[in-house]
Amino acid sequence: MSDETDLFGAARMGYVVVESDRLHDWRRFLKQGLGLHEVPADEDALAFRMDDHERRFMIRKGAAEDVVATGWHLRDQAALDIVLRRLAERGIAVEPGSTEEAAFRGVAGFVRLMGPKAMAIELFIEARTTATPLNMLTSGFVTGDSGMGHLAITSRRPEKMLRFWQEIFDARLSDRIHQPLSGAMLDIDFLRLNARHHTIAIAATRGLRLDPIRTRVQHVNMLVSTLDDLTDAFERLCDLGYEMAHEIGQHPNDREVSFYVVSPSGFELELGWNALTVDEAAWRPTSYNAISVWGHRPRRNSRLDRLAINAGNFRRGLRSLLHPEYSPL
Ligand SMILES: [Fe+2]
């Protein structure tokens, strides 16, 4: 629109806020399972570190059982100002977060808007960091300039969701995957905001647009530093009794080796290793016709399990037709 500044590379995912009534289970899942560093929080909340940021993953008590907000770390005030101008040009309202809310998120301050699918998008430029050594069950997570991970979101209005990330943050399309699923075709667009192959993946059914996923986010992804970190976390989560939605496998596009575990709130957590970063000079968008090169087998894979899962997804998919999906654009 009116400014020519390219914000590609200026934004990264900074934090996640989940609302859940299952705090006890979330602590077990994130601390004993995924191995994050727990930090003291208020009575009705949990907070975790995965690097030098004071907080990355927060759970607050409430009934949503969903990701309710994601934090987006802008490079500097100039980048934030451009985002705010673009939002204003489109009539998208922004409100400041309170001091208490900022403290809970481990940031100096933030502003909030209602993003696609009614998920709060929170913008900040300064994260509180700490020199206190990490106490984790894993050797480390890959964060830095490419952020804490990625989100995968199912949508009935994928064109609008794509436009939001492209027009506000100058997201670039890395590639697409077309995956047959229960007799339908799922089209997934992978968008990058920085060197991470994708920070946002948008999945939509071709033809009749159904959304079989109850939660705003289908999965949150985080990357561990080593293959041992990945396999150890897999073993720990299995031993703790968490359900593997998909066992270890590899994606064709970012070459990431990963597994998907069902979180206490029902959406999935993808833990990955060895995802490639994009070389802007050489990258050409392409498309693939399967989500996995190998593995990613569902653990509940009997005929009866598959029928039950498909029937549940179909019911929720049909129900989604009754409710319009929110889009700020
Ligand atoms: Fe993913």
C-alpha of residue 100 to centroid of ligand 1, in Å: 31
Domain holding 289: CATH number? 3.10.180.10
C-alpha of residue 150 to centroid of ligand 1, in Å: 7
Q: For 21-49, what is the mean pLDDT?
A: 97
Please write the tens of the pLDDT for every residue from 239-270.
999 999 999 999 999 999 999 999 999 999 99
Task: Assess if residue 131 is contained within a domain.
Answer: no
Please write the tens of the pLDDT for every residue from 265-303.
999 999 999 999 999 999 999 999 999 999 999 877 666
Tell me the residue range of the domain where 84 lies: 11-124
Tokens 């984790």 correspond to: 136
Q: For 147-166, what is the mean pLDDT?
A: 97
CA distances from 259 to 4, 5, 14, 264, 289 (A): 40, 37, 22, 16, 20
Distance CA 141, CA 160 (A): 32
Distance CA 249, CA 255 (A): 10
Please write the tens of the pLDDT for every residue from 114-133.
999 999 999 999 999 999 99
The answer, yes or no, to whether residue 311 has pLDDT greater than 90, is no
C-alpha of residue 154 to centroid of ligand 1, in Å: 12
Q: What is the pLDDT of residue 183?
A: 75
Distance CA 306, CA 283 (A): 37
Q: For 186-198, what is the mean pLDDT?
A: 97
Domain boundary among 78, 96, 124: 124
Q: What is the pLDDT of residue 13?
A: 98
Q: What is the pLDDT of residue 243?
A: 95
Indicate if 247 and 169 belong to the same structural domain.
Answer: yes
- Better-scored residue on pLDDT, 212 or 308: 212
Domain count, the chain: 2
Task: Assess if residue 84 is contained within a domain.
Answer: yes
Q: What is the pLDDT of residue 156?
A: 95
C-alpha of residue 230 to centroid of ligand 1, in Å: 14
